[in-house]
Chains A and B, each alone.
Chain A
C-alpha cells in the first residue's frame, strides 16, 4: 500500500481570469482530507486536475502511486470513485440501467453492493434518473462511486444541496468507507461543519492559493477563541489575533494560542471561524 493516496506537487493552472498557483499537498493513505474554499477558490479546478479532466500548466499529480499523465492511470481509475458536483449520469437511465452500464465499465463492479446502497438510500429502481430529486441523484452517484472497490474517493461538492438528514446519512457512509485502512477520501465542500465532522486533514484554498493543509486536530490546537474586556484585548500581542469583534460586553477574538500570555486559556474554535477569519484577512 502507498504511503500517500494523493500527492500534488506545484500544481499550476492558469485561466484568463483565474489561476491555481503552485499548489502542493499530500493526502496520507487511510485518511480524509477536506478541501475548503469560497466559490472560485480553485477547488473544482484542483479536483478536475487530479482526475485528468483539466490539463495543468505545471506540476505533478500522483494518485494511488500512479502519475495521472501516464498510460497506466486509466487502469488506476478502477480504484478511484468520483462524485462531481452534479451526478453526471444520463438522465434517461434508471438505477437498474446504471447498474448494467457500470457493470460493463468497471472490472470490479459489485452489483450487490450497488443495489444494496440503492435500497439503503431508498432509490427507486425503475424510475428514470431525470425524475430524481437532487438528493437522490447525488446518492445514486455516491452509490456508484462506492460499488467498484475504490480505494480513493474524490468528491467535489458531493454533499451540497442535500438536506441535513441526507447529508448526515451520506457522511456516515463516507466514515464507514474509511474504516478500511487503505481507503482515503478527498472531499471538497462549502459546508465546513460537514468537513469538520469527518476530516483528518483540512486544506484551505483561497483565490487559487493553498493557504494551508494541516491536520484538523493541529489546527484546532493552534487556534482558539477568547473573550476579553476591551482593555485586556488591547494589551494582547497583535500578532496573536487572527480576527476580533466587539460583542458589546467585550471583545471576542480568534487567536494563535502560542502567542497568548502564559496562563491565558482559549476555548476550542470551530474550523469554520478559523477559515472565515483567514479568508477575510487572506493571511496564514
Chain B
C-alpha cells in the first residue's frame, strides 16, 4: 500500500516534468530500430529511462520531500526499495517500447536491426536498466541529486561506454548470423539467464549499500 502511494506520487511528478524525456526516449527507440548505429541509440534510450528516477528524485530534493519522507510512517528500506522498483519499471517500459518499435519496423517496414531475438531484447534491456540503477541509486542516496550529479555523470559515462562497447562489439561480431548472440558460443537462454543472475546480484548488493547509506543520512 505504502509502495503504491510513493509510486503514485512519483507518477504525478513524472506526468508533470517527465514528458519531454519520455518524448526523447520514444524518439531514440524509433531511431534505434531504423538506424545503422542501433546499439548507441538503444543504450541511450535505456540510460534515459533509468535516469527518470534521477529526475523524480531531483524534484523531490528541490521540494524537500526527502525530508518529509523521514516524517512519514515509512521504513528506510521501503523508501529505498521504491526507487529501485521505479527504476526497474522505467527500464521495463523502455524495453517494451523498443520491442514495439522493433516489431513495427519488422512487420511494416521489413527492417531488421539484427540485435536480438524479441525475448532477449526485452530481457537484456531490462537488465541493463537494473545495472544502471545499481550504480546510480547508491550515489543518489549518498550525495543527493545536486551534490551527486558529478559523481553520477562520471559513473554513468563509464557504464554507458562499457554497455555500448559490449553491445556494439557483440552486434558487429554476430551480425552475419543476424543475432547479437551469434558471436557467443553459449546458448542465448544461458547467456540471458547469466546476465539476469549478475544483474540480480548487483542489484541486491546495491540495495544493501543504499539502505545503509540512507540510514546514516541526515536531512
Contact = CB atoms under 8 A, between A and B. Distances in A.
B6 A105 contact: yes
B67 A88 contact: yes
A104 interface: yes
Given A48-B219, A54-B219, A104-B4, A93 B70 contact: no
Interface in B1-52: 1-2, 4-6, 8-9, 12-13, 15-17
A231 B186 CA distance: 103
Interface stretch (A4-12, A73-81, A200-208, A209-217): A73-81
B68 interface: yes
Contacts of B218: 48, 53-55
Contact of A74 (B9, B59, B75): B75
Contacts of B6: 101, 104-105
Given A53-B219, A54-B218, A105 B5 contact: yes
A279 B81 CA distance: 46
A27 interface: no
A77 B216 CA distance: 19
Interface string A64-88: 0000000000111110101010101
Contacts of B67: 53, 84, 88
B12 A77 contact: no
Nearest to A141: B68
B69 to A, nearest CB: 9
A97 interface: yes
A78 B1 CA distance: 14
Interface string A123-147: 0000010000000000000000000
Given A84-B64, A92-B17, A128-B16, A101 B8 contact: yes
A84 B68 contact: yes
B172 interface: no
Interface in B40-97: 59-60, 62-65, 67-68, 70-75
B5 A93 contact: no
A29 B74 CA distance: 25
Contacts of A53: 67, 70-71, 218-219
A86 to B, nearest CB: 6
B74 A93 contact: no
Interface residues of B, number: 29
Contacts of B216: 55
Interface residues of A, number: 32
A154 B72 CA distance: 12
Contacts of B62: 91
A149 interface: no
B64 A74 contact: no
Contacts of B64: 84, 86, 88
A48 B17 CA distance: 30
A106 interface: yes
A105 B67 CA distance: 15
Interface in B186-219: 216, 218-219
Contact of A90 (B1, B63, B74, B75): B63
Nearest to A106: B73
Contact of B2 (A80, A82, A91, A105): A105
A78 B73 contact: yes
A268 B181 CA distance: 87
A164 interface: no
Contacts of B13: 90, 92-93
A80 B71 CA distance: 8
Contacts of B5: 100-105
The 7 closest A-B pairs by CB, nearest first: A104-B5, A92-B16, A88-B68, A82-B71, A77-B73, A53-B219, A105-B5
Interface of B: 1-2, 4-6, 8-9, 12-13, 15-17, 59-60, 62-65, 67-68, 70-75, 216, 218-219
26 contacts: A53-B71, A53-B218, A74-B73, A74-B74, A76-B73, A77-B71, A78-B73, A82-B68, A84-B67, A84-B68, A88-B67, A89-B63, A89-B68, A90-B13, A101-B6, A101-B9, A102-B5, A103-B5, A104-B1, A104-B2, A104-B5, A105-B6, A105-B73, A105-B74, A128-B16, A154-B71
Given A51-B71, A53-B67, A88-B65, 20 more contacts: A52-B70, A53-B70, A53-B219, A74-B74, A80-B71, A84-B64, A89-B63, A89-B65, A90-B63, A92-B16, A93-B9, A93-B13, A100-B5, A100-B8, A104-B1, A104-B4, A104-B6, A104-B8, A105-B73, A106-B72
